[in-house]
Amino acid sequence: MMRRALALATTVALVAPSAAFARGSFDPTKEFEQHEWVPIHLGPLNLSITKAVAYLMLGSVLTILFGIFFMRSKAARVPGRRETLGELAYEVAQTQIAEQGLPSKAMSRWFPYCASLLLFIFVVNLIGFIPLPLTGETWHGVPTWGIYAATSSISVTLALALLTFVFTHVEGVRWNGPVRYFKSWIPEAPAGLLILIVPLEVLGQFMRLISLSVRLFANMLAGHILILTFLGLMFILQSVVLAVLVVPVGILFYLFEVIIVVGIQAFIFAALSAIYIGSAIEPEH
């Protein structure tokens, strides 16, 4: 009975808007525009505070609070639920990320970096799916609530990827010396093939930068656009009946993003950073 009612409602929703097939004025990509809220210009540098910067600040504060609340405070040291959660985060960072990529001699130096990458990206991704009054728009003087993730901006993820890129090569040179490190890029192959392989290896180092940043950025951007487009179909096709179909699908995508994508992407970014840094410290041959 329930299913038949749903099927009927869906059919009505798909048939009804054809009369009013006018395109509404909803554009999901507008959600990702950056407006300068507090303009700060230092010469050619534009350090203005925009939506993404506000989300990053909020994310940093929340990450620090997470660390203090679950790991450093006195109450977090007595066994209990709080301690368990803090230790769970620590254990994932240690056994799943740091020990997979980093050699044990570099563990004490680079474990903090990889663990903070994991926590920070996770928190920034997660607050991107919590509606917050940070859209910068107002409705009768009340700020409107919306979802936006700072990691869905390529500048943010590229900055994080650049950190890993720089650390990788600085550590490679520091542990092995410049000659041995750059020699480790050259694989053993006949001299004729080397002309082909070496440029590819060098290119591969820069491709890491692109793949690391684009993976996180495109995942978060696509997730948000997917949810916004599905909800926006109501406004584009101008039909409220469509909500029967569109809202459950939107919620499904939302749950998929929050439960799977947010954690996985933070994990992947931190794990790949650990692997890159580890492989630079201990080249395979």
Partner 1 sequence: MINLLFSAASNSPITHAGKAIGLALGVGLGALGAGVGIGNIFGSMIQSVARQPELRGELQGIQWLGFALTEAVVFYGLLGSILAYVLV
CB of 91 to partner 1, least distance (A): 12
By CB under 8 A, residue 271 contacts partner 1? yes
By CB under 8 A, residue 241 contacts partner 1? no
- Figure out which of the listed residues 65, 75, 162, 264 binds partner 1, where binding follows CB under 8 A: 264
The residue whose two tokens read 């809202």 is: 247
- Quick one: 91 or 137, whose CB is closer to partner 1? 91
- Quick one: 75 or 218, whose CB is closer to partner 1? 218
- Figure out which of the listed residues 62, 83, 215, 249 binds partner 1, where binding follows CB under 8 A: 215
Long-range contacts of 251-254 (CB under 8 A, 24+ apart): 253/223, 253/226, 253/227, 254/129, 254/227
By CB under 8 A, residue 218 contacts partner 1? yes
Piece of the chain touching partner 1 by CB under 8 A; list 5-13, 80-88, 127-135, 208-216? 208-216
Piece of the chain touching partner 1 by CB under 8 A; list 52-60, 61-69, 138-146, 260-268? 260-268
By CB under 8 A, residue 9 contacts partner 1? no
Q: For the purposes of burial, counting CB atoms within 10 Å of the CB of 166, is it exposed (0-12), middle (13-18) or buried (19 or more)?
A: exposed
* Rounded-to-integer distance, Cα 162 and Cα 68, Å: 27
In angstroms, the Cα distances linking 250 to 159, 223, 243, 253 are: 31, 10, 10, 5
- Figure out which of the listed residues 126, 214, 243, 249 binds partner 1, where binding follows CB under 8 A: 214
Helix, strand, or coil (residue 132): strand
Within residues 69-98, the interface with partner 1 by CB under 8 A covers 96
Which candidate, 23, 62, 253, 283, places its Cα nearest to that of 175? 283
By CB under 8 A, residue 194 contacts partner 1? no
* Rounded-to-integer distance, Cα 186 and Cα 74, Å: 51
CB of 22 to partner 1, least distance (A): 19
- Quick one: 225 or 241, whose CB is closer to partner 1? 225
Quote the tokens at residue 153. Answer: 């901006």
The answer to whether residues 198 and 186 touch, using CB atoms and an 8 Å cutoff, is: yes
- Quick one: 97 or 134, whose CB is closer to partner 1? 97
User: At residue 36, what is the residue type?
Assistant: E
Piece of the chain touching partner 1 by CB under 8 A; list 40-48, 121-129, 232-240, 267-275? 267-275
By CB under 8 A, residue 100 contacts partner 1? yes
* Rounded-to-integer distance, Cα 266 and Cα 272, Å: 10
- Quick one: 53 or 277, whose CB is closer to partner 1? 277
Piece of the chain touching partner 1 by CB under 8 A; list 17-25, 177-185, 187-195, 209-217? 209-217
- Quick one: 82 or 208, whose CB is closer to partner 1? 208
* Rounded-to-integer distance, Cα 30 and Cα 24, Å: 14
Which candidate, 277, 31, 284, 19, places its Cα nearest to that of 161? 277
Binding site for partner 1 (CB under 8 A): 96, 100, 211, 214-215, 218-219, 222, 264-265, 267-268, 271-272
